[in-house]
A and B are shown apart, each in its own frame.
Chain A
Amino acid sequence: MSTLVGKLQIDKTIDARGMACPGPLMNLIGAIRQGQVGQVFEVLSSDEGSKTDIPAWLAKARHDLVEVVQDNGYTHFVVRKAR
């Protein structure tokens, strides 16, 4: 199911708020593993470690970090599967 957040078409939302590190990143890796190239994933994480872990993994795995927005008590990451 796709939803629209701002101008972006989000294919899957991973609400990992309340999950301890590294839950949010592990869930994102699982989603990317099963997703299609070009799909956009949204990750919501309240874990401080995600701020460094998620961008570091995306850089290594060569997927796109489209947007990082700090919201009320959590961080919102938008990610595109690039390959």
Chain B
Amino acid sequence: MAADVVILGGGVGGTIVANLVAKQSSGRAHVTVVDATGIHVYQPGFLYVAIGQEQPSALQRAEAHLLRRGVSLIVDVATRVDPIGQKVLLESGRTLRYDQLLLATGSRTLMDEVPGANEAHDFYTMDGAVRLFDALEGFQGGTIVIGVAGIPYKCPPAPVEFVFLLDDYLRARGVREKAQIKLLSPLNRAFTIEATSRLVQPILNERGIELTGFFNVESVDPVAKTVSSLEGETVAYDLLVLVPPHRGQKVIEDSGLGDERGWVPVDKNTLKHTKFEHIWAIGDTTNIPISKSGSVAHYEATVAAAEIVAELKGELPPAHVYDGKVMCFLETGRGEATTISFDYDHPPVSPTPARRWHWAKALFNKTYWHTVPQGRLP
């Protein structure tokens, strides 16, 4: 009898694992993906929607079209996991039994956790990115402030990329000289990774983007139009863009599968839950102190799929484990970009920004739909 492999979340990680397990299990598994919307969203594209370089429709596809034949898709919300009884309860009242469970539910953003920030802009949801672009189109001058309201957050390079693309956008519209761009960084440098920060800092200076270090956003006064930090500083704004606080999904918290912020504790190499058998987690979902990004979910997915297939075939766990590999692009504006690559044993390296990295990122974004979800890229 085929084993039941249940995957919660139809994002990049969940979709790759579903397709790889279905392909590699030689008919030994029945794979079911549970997704709240049934729509696969390419989240790295939000950044481009926010500055008018991408249409929302280009970032969405029906999840059913990305899954191999034989993989079942259930459009429903998982409300509770019973890790002892090996069952998942869905909002509709339906219960799914599992032999192996993959948690690929990702993260959610909660701007409400920042007092006064309800009206602040963000580019971490499609609606937020669309609303931000509308606001930018109406912007005629003043101070645009970009801050970070919680760590960890998805796509660590995104705030830096945003200020560079914003600089390009405002110059193209002829309003750059009437605008001040201020980047508030949680650390005493532009970017979390020091090597990349050294590359980025001179470009910020050259473009006239002001950096304030050690500014962890704590609250906003929407009437006075000021944002204040945990460190005790206050900055005035005309247009405020915040990276909202992130946490794991409610089903993780309600099922007692995660820590106090809903991140799932897993072994950083095997991606297996540290407390419960037959459960893996990948991508933003985990508590591994590594980038929350599609890149990580992608690399982890091949490992989790191999682990699940080995278990359902009754084989020894595969020798290949997740080594902490991350590969991200970072747009530096004016048609150039750099990359950031590292793993658990090798510190990050970034090449000098060049046009070819910008084109590589654009090519990856365009070809994503035909390569990544199917597990065609290693």
Q: Footprint of B on A, CB under 8 Å?
A: 16, 19-23, 25-27, 29-30, 32-33, 49, 53, 56-57, 60-62, 83
Contacts and interface: CB of A to CB of B under 8 A. Distances in A.
Contact of B231 (A20, A30, A61): A61
A61 B231 CA distance: 4
Given A29-B216, A49-B194, A61-B214, 5 more contacts: A23-B289, A29-B151, A30-B151, A33-B216, A60-B231
Nearest to B233: A60
A20 B347 CA distance: 8
Interface residues of B, number: 16
Given A22-B187, A29-B186, A62-B232, A57 B289 contact: no
Contacts, number: 43
B151 A26 contact: yes
B186 A61 contact: no
Contacts of B342: 20
B214 A57 contact: yes
B230 interface: yes
Nearest to A32: B230
A61 B230 CA distance: 7
A29 B230 contact: yes
A25 B152 CA distance: 12
Interface in B183-227: 186-188, 192, 194, 214, 216, 218
A37 to B, nearest CB: 13
Contacts of B214: 56-57, 60-61
Contact of A53 (B152, B187, B230, B289): B187
A70 B289 CA distance: 23
Main secondary structure of the interface of A (DSSP, over half): helix
A68 B342 CA distance: 30
B188 A57 contact: yes
Contacts of B192: 22, 26
Contacts of B289: 16, 19-20, 23, 27
A20 B196 CA distance: 14
A12 B308 CA distance: 35
A35 to B, nearest CB: 11
Contacts of A21: 194
Contacts of B232: 61-62, 83
A59 to B, nearest CB: 9
Contacts of A83: 232
Contact of A26 (B186, B188, B347): B186
B187 A25 contact: yes
Contacts of B188: 53, 56-57, 60
A62 B232 CA distance: 8
A60 B188 CA distance: 10
Interface in B133-157: 151-152
Select the residue from A19, A20, A26, A30 with max chain B CB neighbours within 10 A.
A20
14 contacts: A16-B289, A21-B194, A26-B151, A29-B186, A29-B230, A30-B151, A32-B230, A33-B216, A56-B188, A57-B188, A60-B188, A61-B231, A62-B232, A83-B232
A21 B342 CA distance: 13
With most chain A CB atoms within 10 A of its CB, the pick from B186, B194, B214 is B214
Contacts of A20: 289, 342, 347
Contacts of A29: 151, 186, 216, 230
B300 to A, nearest CB: 17
A52 to B, nearest CB: 9
Nearest to B218: A33
Nearest to A23: B289
A30 B347 CA distance: 24
A49 B188 CA distance: 12
B152 A26 contact: yes
A16 B192 CA distance: 16
Nearest to B192: A22
Contacts of A61: 214, 230-232
Nearest to A33: B230
A61 B192 CA distance: 18
A26 B290 CA distance: 12
Contacts of A26: 151-152, 186, 192
Interface string B245-279: 00000000000000000000000000000000000
